[in-house]
Amino acid sequence: MVHTTHTLGALALFLATSAATAQWQLASPAQSPQALSGHGMTFHPPSASALLFGGYAGFSASNQTWSYDGATWTLLAPTNSPTAKAGVELVYDAARGVVVMYGGMNTSFFGGPSVDQTWEFDGATWTQVFPVTTPGGLGNYGACYDSSRSRYVLYGGSDNSFFPIAVSGTWEWNGTNWALVATATSPGPLERPAMCFHAGIGRTVMFGGIDPQIGGVDTTWLYDGTNWSAAPVTGSRPAVRTGAKMVYDNLRGVCVLTGGADPTNGNAIVDTWEFDGVGWTQVASATTGRISAGLAYLESQRRVVQFGGSVPTTGSALADTWDYSRAAVVGSGCAGSNGTPKLDAAAGPRLGQNYVQTLANLNPAIPVAVFVLSVTQLAPTSLAPIGMPGCVAHVSPDVLLSAPAAAGGSSLTFAVPSSVSLAGISLFAQGLSLDPGVNAASLTVSNALDGRLGS
């Protein structure tokens, strides 16, 4: 594969005249779940979709199961479902191929002991399992899946919604039983902490949460399966908050944290942070303020999706879907003499850094490739009228750049300008393969990429 480097050049003019918006983008699916808060949400790899269950819907709780593929919400109809639940987390157990849900807050008007149930979803139905040992009933806890040890990790929460008292236990689920881990160091009682597993450092990461008897914290805690330790974070870090959510972006190796409320005044915190395993970086992007939203990283589309949550000052639940994407795949290419050209990027474009796109499955006899760049995504447009049957354009041809190719591959690197005014603009791209004789135009195209400019 041959690499070439360009500055954005003429394309920068298109970017500069485009309307910059936040990197979080409000999606417009045809249907979606009702307004919810305190629901569980996770990525379900077998369906390449986010899975959502439960949540408070006004004064009652929901027992609906929804799936979101990045474009469409679908209400599922499992043959068996848990009763309505809220204050839960969903965690995908990759070793066993099931989504696990534990506990939940007591949803009666007067509150009471939290729910002590363990449920698993296999993609078709929910099944309650009955372990000998359990956490005894918890809601509003933090949870994630430790992929290095194949364990569901749960921390903190509240064991009774009538008494605002948080607990401090670390629990693990191995698919058969729950076990309380006696750690030498503990973050202390916390409810509504944000948690994710950082595969790059092999640690569970926890931030925020609140002890109702004392207040909130801004310590970044790391758990290695044996003990908790405070990460030696230097520099800036997120403010104290409760009710935030956090997921791991395994492509870029960062935990993405968003949302929450200031425990001292109840006001929403409107920001987004990323933790790379060492330090925190604030991203110039945020949705509207909320707590107890659903958050999932759609691995197949390289995007974080957020649904719902509630406005902390009013308690009003939300029904909006937000997308925090990097370089999402759009559409597909058309077959040529060496397969279907494929355009890819290991990470999305970031201000002041290089953005690398790779184009594969080109005709190996042709020493050049063409990259089509634009700030405008087209509705899928057939290229049959110009001699390319079965090929579809997804990108307006604002800028065309050629790059050397070898052995059926090419690579293009952009030096992205560092101007913050460009944050949030989508840079669309699609590849062209010169392929004599494959059709009347001797051209095929790749899939497109939607790379949102981030800081």
The pLDDT of residue 439 is 96
Instruction: Note the pLDDT tens digit of each residue in 115-135.
Output: 999 999 999 999 999 999 999
**Looking at 36-45, 58-67, 288-297, 341-350, which range is the least confident one?**
341-350
The stretch 83-102 carries a mean pLDDT of 98
Dihedral sign for Cα atoms in the order 296, 225, 188, 170: positive
For residue 444, the enclosing domain spans: 2-19+328-452
The pLDDT of residue 52 is 98
Mean pLDDT of the chain: 90
Both tokens assigned to 97: 């191929």
Domain membership of residue 26 (yes or no) is no
The domain tally of the chain equals: 2
Same domain (yes/no): 264, 216: yes
The stretch 336-362 carries a mean pLDDT of 87
pLDDT band, residue 59 (cuts 50/70/90): confident
Same domain (yes/no): 307, 332: no
pLDDT band, residue 420 (cuts 50/70/90): low
Q: Given 271, 292, 318, which residue is the final one in a domain?
A: 318
**CATH code for the domain in which residue 49 is found:** 2.120.10.80
The span from the CA of 200 to the CA of 256, in Å, is 14
Domain membership of residue 57 (yes or no) is yes
What b-and-e string marks burial along 262-300, b requiring 16 or more CB atoms within 10 Å of the CB? bbeeeebbebbbbbebeebeebebbbebbbbbbbbbbee
Domain membership of residue 222 (yes or no) is yes
Same domain (yes/no): 214, 124: yes
* % residues pLDDT > 90 (the chain): 74
Q: Tell me if 416 sits within 8 A of 8, measured CB to CB.
A: yes
Same domain (yes/no): 205, 350: no
Same domain (yes/no): 231, 376: no
Same domain (yes/no): 338, 399: yes
Same domain (yes/no): 148, 296: yes
Same domain (yes/no): 190, 217: yes
Q: Given 293, 318, 343, which residue is the final one in a domain?
A: 318
Q: Given 318, 343, 372, which residue is the final one in a domain?
A: 318
Same domain (yes/no): 375, 287: no
* Identity at 318, one-letter amino acid code: L
Same domain (yes/no): 407, 305: no
pLDDT band, residue 204 (cuts 50/70/90): very high
Domain membership of residue 361 (yes or no) is yes
The pLDDT of residue 5 is 54
Task: Identify which of 137-151, 210-224, 351-365 has the greatest average pLDDT.
Answer: 137-151
Instruction: Note the pLDDT tens digit of each residue in 5-37.
Output: 554 454 554 444 443 333 677 888 999 999 999
The pLDDT of residue 241 is 97
